[in-house]
């Protein structure tokens, strides 16, 4: 990953100011070994529905040990509708994931990585949750998603000195992130298994 691409994403991830206006996208092109795919990062922190009664707790960077891959298991739902489901139906403080990747390879920042969200029960305090938007038990990941997943995993591993990357199904009995995501992710996972 080139120094300037990491610096731009790092700036976006470290920003903790929450505004009610849409932040401009940061466009990264020519990203090292991932190829010249032009992934775009969008910061949605402060834009998604959150609970008025409960709030996620925070942690310092030193407590983050790894990441967990998920899929939304949805067909056509938006990140906003997923956040609404987490808040209104599940009664969680906000959307469960820290980052999301769309079909087009866009990467979305949903929660500050210092947030202890509810994405992988038993592992929330020490992991960052990344969700692939869509149902990857039924469909294959796009090339753009795969490129973005490689970029994001490399960035998070370097920025947070992560010791492992897991799939959600390794932490509990679930099919998440789906068989087609499993095919792509399994060879790039690293570190001790849960």
Range of the domain at 107: 3-188
- Asked whether residue 160 is assigned to any structural domain, the reply reads yes
The string over 14-45, giving b where at least 16 C-beta atoms fall within 10 Å of a residue's C-beta and e elsewhere, is: eeeeeeeeebeebebeebeebeebebbbbbbb
- Asked whether residue 178 is assigned to any structural domain, the reply reads yes
Predicted pLDDT at 9:
52
Predicted pLDDT at 141:
97
Please count the other Cβ atoms lying within 10 Å of the Cβ belonging to residue 3.
8
- Asked whether residue 10 is assigned to any structural domain, the reply reads yes
Predicted pLDDT at 97:
98
Tell me if residue 33 falls in helix, strand or coil.
helix
Round to whole Å and give the CA distance between 139 and 126.
30
Round to whole Å and give the CA distance between 51 and 63.
25
Predicted pLDDT at 30:
31
Q: Cα angle vertex 63, ends 57, 67, to 5°?
A: 90
Q: Which two tokens stand for residue 31?
A: 């990203």
Residue-by-residue pLDDT tens, the chain, 194 positions: 443 344 445 545 544 333 333 333 433 333 333 333 344 678 999 999 999 999 999 999 999 999 999 999 999 899 999 999 999 999 999 999 999 999 999 999 999 999 999 999 999 999 999 999 999 999 999 999 999 999 999 999 999 999 999 999 999 999 999 999 999 999 999 999 99
Round to whole Å and give the CA distance between 137 and 177.
7
- Asked whether residue 78 is assigned to any structural domain, the reply reads yes
Predicted pLDDT at 134:
96
Q: What is the DSSP letter of 128?
A: E
Contact indicator for 181, 69 with CB cutoff of 8 Å? yes
Round to whole Å and give the CA distance between 93 and 101.
21
CATH code of the domain in which 91 resides: 3.40.80.10
Predicted pLDDT at 10:
53
Total number of domains in the chain: 1
- Asked whether residue 194 is assigned to any structural domain, the reply reads no
């Amino acid at each position: 990953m080139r120094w300037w691409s990491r610096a731009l994403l790092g700036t976006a991830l470290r920003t903790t100011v929450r505004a009610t206006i849409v932040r401009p996208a940061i466009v990264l092109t020519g990203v090292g070994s991932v190829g010249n795919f032009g992934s775009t990062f969008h910061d949605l922190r402060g834009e998604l529905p959150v609970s008025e009664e409960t709030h996620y707790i925070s942690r310092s960077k030193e407590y983050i040990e790894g990441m967990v891959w998920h899929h939304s298991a949805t067909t056509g739902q938006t990140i906003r509708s997923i956040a609404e489901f987490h808040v209104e139906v599940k009664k969680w403080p906000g959307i469960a994931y820290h980052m999301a990747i769309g079909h087009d390879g866009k990467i979305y920042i949903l929660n500050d990585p210092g947030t202890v969200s509810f994405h992988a029960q038993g592992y929330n305090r020490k992991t960052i949750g990344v969700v692939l938007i869509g149902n990857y038990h039924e469909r294959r990941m796009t090339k753009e998603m795969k490129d973005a997943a490689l970029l994001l995993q490399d960035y998070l591993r370097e920025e947070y000195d992560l010791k492992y990357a897991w799939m959600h199904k390794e932490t509990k009995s679930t099919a998440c992130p789906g068989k087609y995501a499993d095919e792509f992710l399994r060879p790039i996972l690293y570190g001790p298994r849960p």
